Amino acid sequence: MTRLVVVGSTGFIGSRVVEAARLGGLDVVGVSRSAPDRPPVSRPVDLSDTATLRDVFAGADAVVLSAAYVGTDEQEARRTNADGVRSAVTAALHAGVPRLVSVSTASVVGPGPHRDAAARTDGLAPQSAASRTRAEAESIVLGAGGVVLRPNLVYGAGDRWVVPGLARLIAAGDEAGRSSALVSTIHVRDLARAVVGAAEPWPPGLAGTVRNANAPDPDRMSAVVATLRWVLGLDRVTSDAGAGREGRHGAAGLTPHQRSLILVDNWFESASLWRDLGLPAPRGFSLDAADTEWYRRHLLDRI
């Protein structure tokens, strides 16, 4: 493969996909709805603009779809996650792109507990507008013969809810620190490796499938919290700091579904993805120096 187009190239995941692809020596074109303000974005394109997308996709060996809306607005969720993906897939098919890779979310399967769960396309029970429309996007991509990757909890520099949500739970009383739940996690850089690997010529049986994309071994939530306390110094975050964060979503301002993702078993069979892609599997939850610096700068003063 020589040319990869990444849709959503300024996002948390998309920007890391671009970085991983460029480090691998690939020719990368970034596409974002917003005007480009830094490399690697080269084209500001709205997902509804099928004609322009078709031009951008021309000659691409693979297109990665990583743009997603994760808020609560039903209309915006449909516009970006379902209609936008349909438009992009239509453009890619017209441009003759041989491979499509879409980044989805394990939230489409619905509430846990999930224990060593295989990826499936039936019996999904998404609980939010964002998850429902992303499940619809999966069907669109699979119908075009593409590959869907489903991570569970994605963390690392740029993460706006996983570690921040855990920190708020700690501040509100450390419910997460007492949790024995096993959860699948993946660092965003490792997810990016998997996405780039899935954009390469596919091994037999990968086309038209959904694959879980996490570290193969689940993490104990109490151990994750212990790591955060140690690395980020969250012991200085008291329950008083979390006061007043109950709101309409309960403790720490998290939705019931978000709390479930953290406090209930949610782990998914993922070893087969790394084996089939021929990539080294990532380890469990850990933060590097860049993550620690980012979280300290963007998190601790906002709890």
Are the C-beta atoms of residues 100 and 57 closer than 8 Å to each other? Answer: no
DSSP characters for the chain? --EEEEETTTSHHHHHHHHHHHHTT-EEEEEESSPP-STTEEEE--TT-HHHHHHHHTT-SEEEE-----SS-HHHHIIIIIIHHHHHHHHHHHTT-SEEEEE--GGGG-SS-EEEEPP-SSS----SHHHHHHHHHHHHHHHTT-EEEE-SEEESTT-SSHHHHHHHHHHTT-TGGG---EE-EEEHHHHHHHHHHHHSSPPTT-TT-EEE-S-SS-EEHHHHHHHHHHHH-GGG--TTTTTT--TTT-GGG--HHHHHHHHS-EEE--HHHHHHHT-PPP-SS---HHHHHHHHHHTGGG-
Q: Residue 170: its pLDDT value, please? A: 83
Q: What is the CA radius of gyration of the chain?
A: 19
Using a pLDDT cut of 70, give the percent of the chain over it: 89
Residue partners of 177: CB distance under 8 A and separation at least 6: 170, 222, 225, 226, 229
Q: Tell me how many domains the chain contains.
A: 1
- What's the domain range around 187? 3-302
pLDDT exceeds 70 at position 251: no
HSE, side-chain direction, 13 A CA sphere, residue 129: 12
pLDDT exceeds 90 at position 284: yes
pLDDT exceeds 90 at position 2: no
| Confidence band of 241 (pLDDT split at 50, 70, 90) | very low
Q: Residue 33: its pLDDT value, please? A: 80
pLDDT exceeds 50 at position 95: yes
Q: What is the CATH number of the domain that holds 23?
A: 3.40.50.720
C-alpha 78/C-alpha 132 separation (Å) is 9
Q: Residue 244: its pLDDT value, please? A: 43
pLDDT exceeds 70 at position 200: yes
Q: Residue 185: its pLDDT value, please? A: 98
**Considering only 86-90, 135-139, 284-288, 296-300, which range has the smallest mean pLDDT?**
296-300
Residue partners of 263: CB distance under 8 A and separation at least 6: 175, 176, 179, 181, 221
Are the C-beta atoms of residues 47 and 84 closer than 8 Å to each other? Answer: yes
pLDDT exceeds 90 at position 116: yes
Total residues belonging to the chain? 303
Q: How many other β-carbons are positioned within 10 Å of the β-carbon of residue 148?
A: 27
pLDDT exceeds 80 at position 237: no
DSSP characters for 56-73? HHTT-SEEEE-----SS-
Question: How confident is the prediction for the chain on average, in pLDDT?
Answer: 89
Are the C-beta atoms of residues 142 and 121 closer than 8 Å to each other? Answer: yes
pLDDT greater at residue 235 or residue 179 = 179
Q: Residue 37: its pLDDT value, please? A: 56
